[in-house]
Structure 1
Amino acid sequence: MKMFVDLEALNLRSTPEMDPGNRIAILHLGQEVDALGPATEPGWTRIKTTIGNVQKTGVVKAEVEGQRSLRIPVSAQREALARQAIIEWLRFEKGQGQEHHAPFFGYIGEMWQAIGLNLDGRDRDQFWSAASISFMVRNASSTVPKYKKFKFAAAHAKYMHDSIARRNANDTKAPFWGHRLHEIRPEIGDIVCKWREAPRDYDDAAASDAFKSHSDIVVSVQPDFVLAIGGNVGQSVNITRYKKTGAGFLAPQDAVFMHMVNRT
């Protein structure tokens, strides 16, 4: 059965035991694997996957520190966006590639150029996080045309406001609708929205598209938190962990104030 790695990193081992000498490889978040069934020891799963051009078979822990290590696929439309976010994370060396260093400043240049601006990562006074989200959504639109109706912009507030306006207009062609945090539980392919500098709420985003903000694309949903990928996080494309409430909604912590729900 096709599954995806649901942790930032997961050890693939030759035998179902925690032995430094039996590690075959380290699998990354979102890596596709074939689950072959339970291993001989409880709590382990047999898998095969392709690393480079070589197929590898081994075992992985089913849970690591209370977090599930593998997940089943969600809809193809949501997977398409998560995949583009993960591609950028890997392209930036899992958050280690810095914006002003080669080749990374050129990658940021691609993001800017996609929205018609002649900038790159060496323009360090320009926030590129919204350009990165727009770039990821645009790339996902190559297989999911509905993403082409996204409000591509250099500022997060533009598409946050648009998602609320289109929900209020009952626009079923919109790829995202903006929701209050307590309305819908997050899923892979949704977008977490945060304010920057000055506190904002859902009503502010409904009234204006001009305020400082940030957003990240959800790529993993665990019982107590989600992992989301965004740009200009630590001057790279990186992963942020966002807490969930006991009821499973995004928690109103760390400046999180609204939730763009994927409707593709």
Structure 2
Amino acid sequence: MMVDYIVSNTDGGANLRDAPDSGAIKRNLPFGTALTSIPGSTGKWKSVETANGEKGYVSDKNLKVPASDAIVRLIQSAAHYWEAFAFGRGKEDTSPYYDLVVEIWKELGQGMPPFKRDEKGKVLKDKNGNDVYNTSHPDWPWSAAGMSAFIRRAKGYKNFQFSRLHATYIHNSVVARKAKDPDAPFWGYQLNEQAVRVGDLVCQWRGTQQDYKSAGQSAGFTSHTDVICDIKSGYLYAIGANVESDTVGRKKYTINSTGHLTGPSGGSFKSDNTVFMLMRNMVA
């Protein structure tokens, strides 16, 4: 299926109608639904077809034109994990979300968090007799492992370096952009250089302040990334792992009138305070 649009509205998806404007609602299309364009579009109403062959009209305010099918797959992957974690309500250390975090660590293959222990140092076990991992251990944040899972599920990002550190691929994106590497999955940019697109990654520093220059010099800093999924007027929503509520959740970032992330200057949200870079999705 060639994708012309993706449902980008994270606030309820988009209604598929049998006619433009006041047409009857056939069903709701969830965030992440891929659509092809068919003849009949009029004004803001796009005539579309789903992968299952359903045809109808969708308001363009709930759609984005993706730059590539790889971006569609990444948005759908983020949507998958967001739904799997009950749209930000599922906590990392409670079932069934605990099992998802453990699976994410195992897929990454770069070690596992330590086991939980009682006051006497004995490893705790679940009802099935399995040792219980401490998925909330402060030395084992799973946000980068989660982003790696997003990208692994999306497929096609063959040169992405999966890591338990966001700084690994943030650094790689800056190096790739400077080298003009055509095979790199992401290129790193300063905030004022590129307007945001769905499928790009927002970069935040953690602990020690970073900038574009320092990110290009080292991959040894603490940081965070979220996938841009839903671009509005003046702000966007991005989805990431191990966010504030220890879940896969949605965060809000400020963008200016030219579509650039503002970072701390001009930002209206707490999440803007540590934004320092954009990773442009380059996968065709």
Q: Does 1:6 align with 2:8?
A: yes
CA contact (8 A) 2:33 2:76 kept: no
Residues 1:49 and 1:76: Cα distance change in structure 2 (over 3 Å): closer
**Aligned residue runs from structure 1 range 91-106, under 5 A:** 91-106=84-99
Q: Does 1:109 align with 2:102?
A: yes
Q: Does 1:220 align with 2:214?
A: no
Letter in 2 for 1:69: N
**Whole-angstrom CA distance in 2 between matches of 1:81 and 1:59:** 24
Q: Deviations over 1:139-197 (max 9, x none)?
A: 222xx2xx121121101112111211222233222111111111111212111100123
Higher strand share: 1
CA contact (8 A) 1:3 1:34 kept: yes
Q: Does 1:118 align with 2:112?
A: yes
**Whole-angstrom CA distance in 2 between matches of 1:257 and 1:28:** 31
**Whole-angstrom CA distance in 1 between matches of 2:223 and 2:187:** 17
Identify the residue that residue 246 of structure 1 maps to in structure 2.
257
Aligned with 2:95: secondary structure?
A: coil
CA contact (8 A) 2:16 2:29 kept: no
216-225 or 156-165, which moves further after superposition?
216-225
CA contact (8 A) 1:104 1:121 kept: no
What is the Cα deviation at residue 258 of structure 1? 0.4
Identify the residue that residue 257 of structure 1 maps to in structure 2.
276
CA contact (8 A) 1:12 1:58 kept: no
Letter in 1 for 2:89: Q
Structure 2-normalised TM-score?
Answer: 0.74
What is the Cα deviation at residue 101 of structure 1? 1.3
Residues 1:121 and 1:69: Cα distance change in structure 2 (over 3 Å): farther
Identity %: 32
What is the Cα deviation at residue 223 of structure 1? 3.8
Residues 1:12 and 1:169: Cα distance change in structure 2 (over 3 Å): closer
Q: Does 1:140 align with 2:154?
A: yes
Identify the residue that residue 160 of structure 1 maps to in structure 2.
170
CA contact (8 A) 2:37 2:46 kept: yes
Cα RMSD (Å) = 3.0
**Whole-angstrom CA distance in 1 between matches of 2:236 and 2:95:** 31
**Whole-angstrom CA distance in 2 between matches of 1:133 and 1:192:** 12
Bigger radius of gyration among the two:
2
How many residues are matched?
247
Structure 1-normalised TM-score?
Answer: 0.79
Instruction: Mark the runs of 5 or more structure 1 residues left unpaired by the alignment.
Output: none
Q: Does 1:86 align with 2:88?
A: no
What is the Cα deviation at residue 45 of structure 1? 6.8
Residues 1:260 and 1:43: Cα distance change in structure 2 (over 3 Å): closer
